[in-house]
């Protein structure tokens, strides 16, 4: 019997440098064996050295893209990244409520790797109040979790787990707390669900080429969840693949700043 190829949608901003956003998501989808579609929420003038400009797409056109995709394609999973402002967030929430995808991964993108702000401060409330409760999985790093909760950033794994449970209480069905900002030898992440709490760890790699890591991880989760029986095995598979993409990043020569991962390390 012919095996169906899953269709996965990314709703995110475009990265003209190709390392993050829509471009990283589509590369991740292809590398992990799913067909990728896209809804662009913002254009960025961006490279490995920073973000030089952001041009948000109107909420009406974001919704038009969503309608085009969902009215034709069978979408098995959705990943959401950069949303830029409250009006776009509300449009995306309306789209997800209308079409109710089976899997929705929310990457709470707020700041780029180089420190550039990608989500207007007033939009954090809209993200918390309209999208968290729709998410099957939310993937904040520690500063993002603190911003969503209006509290100080976690400085240890106990606080990470507490904040993960607090995000569950706000409506998310599962939370992957990313611990890259902790000052520890390894880089621990915690999967928090109503039924279990699981620790995942990976070595801290000696590379400066980490642009798009968060986008890529959330895209990998969206790509793999339809192919895996549960979130635990999905997270482990995504992290294993991401670690290899980071380990192979130095093989690429892209830009003079913080370069991208090697999404196609298994292929070339």
Residue 41 to residue 88: CA distance in whole angstroms: 7
Q: For residue range 176-200, what is the model confidence (pLDDT) as tens digits? A: 999 888 877 778 999 999 999 999 9
Mean pLDDT of the chain: 93
Q: For residue range 69-105, what is the model confidence (pLDDT) as tens digits? A: 999 999 999 999 999 899 999 999 999 999 999 999 9
| Percent of the chain with pLDDT strictly greater than 70 | 96
Question: Cα 157 to chain center, whole Å?
Answer: 21
Question: Cα 115 to chain center, whole Å?
Answer: 17
| Residue 145 CB partners (closer than 8 Å, separation 6+) | 108, 153, 154, 160, 163, 164, 167, 177
Instruction: Check residue 12 and give its pLDDT.
Output: 97
Catalytic sites, residue numbers: 178, 210, 212-215
Is residue 20 within 8 A of residue 213, CB to CB? The reply is no
Instruction: Check residue 2 and give its pLDDT.
Output: 56
The pLDDT of 36-56, averaged and rounded, is 94
Is the whole model's pTM more than 0.75, yes or no? yes
Other CB atoms within 10 A of residue 127 CB: 24
The sheet carrying 35-47 orders its strands as: 50-56, 35-47, 7-15, 77-80, 104-106, 137-138, 175-178, 186-192, 197-203
């Amino acid at each position: 019997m012919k095996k169906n190829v899953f269709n996965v949608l990314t709703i995110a901003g475009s990265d003209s440098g190709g390392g993050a956003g829509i471009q990283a998501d589509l590369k991740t989808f292809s590398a992990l064996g799913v067909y990728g579609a896209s809804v662009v929420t913002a254009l960025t003038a961006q490279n490995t050295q920073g973000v030089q400009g952001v041009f948000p797409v109107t909420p009406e056109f974001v919704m038009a893209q969503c309608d085009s995709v969902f009215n034709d394609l069978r979408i098995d999973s959705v990943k959401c990244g950069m949303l830029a402002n409250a009006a776009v967030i509300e449009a995306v929430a309306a789209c997800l409520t209308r079409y109710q995808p089976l899997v929705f991964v929310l990457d709470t993108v707020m700041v780029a790797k180089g420190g550039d702000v990608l989500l207007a401060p007033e939009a954090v409330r809209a993200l918390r109040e309209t999208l968290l409760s729709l998410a099957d999985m939310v993937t904040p790093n520690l500063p993002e979790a603190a911003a969503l909760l209006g509290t100080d950033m976690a400085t240890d794994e106990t606080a990470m787990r507490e904040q993960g449970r607090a995000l569950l209480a706000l409506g998310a069905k599962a939370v992957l707390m990313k611990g890259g900002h902790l000052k520890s030898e390894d880089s621990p992440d915690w999967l928090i669900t109503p039924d279990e709490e699981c620790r995942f760890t990976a070595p801290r790699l000696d590379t400066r080429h980490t642009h798009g890591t968060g986008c890529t991880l959330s895209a990998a989760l969206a790509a793999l969840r339809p192919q895996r029986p549960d979130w635990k095995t999905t997270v482990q598979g995504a992290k294993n693949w991401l670690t290899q993409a980071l380990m192979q990043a130095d093989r690429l020569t892209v830009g003079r700043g913080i370069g991208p991962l090697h999404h196609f390390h298994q292929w070339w």
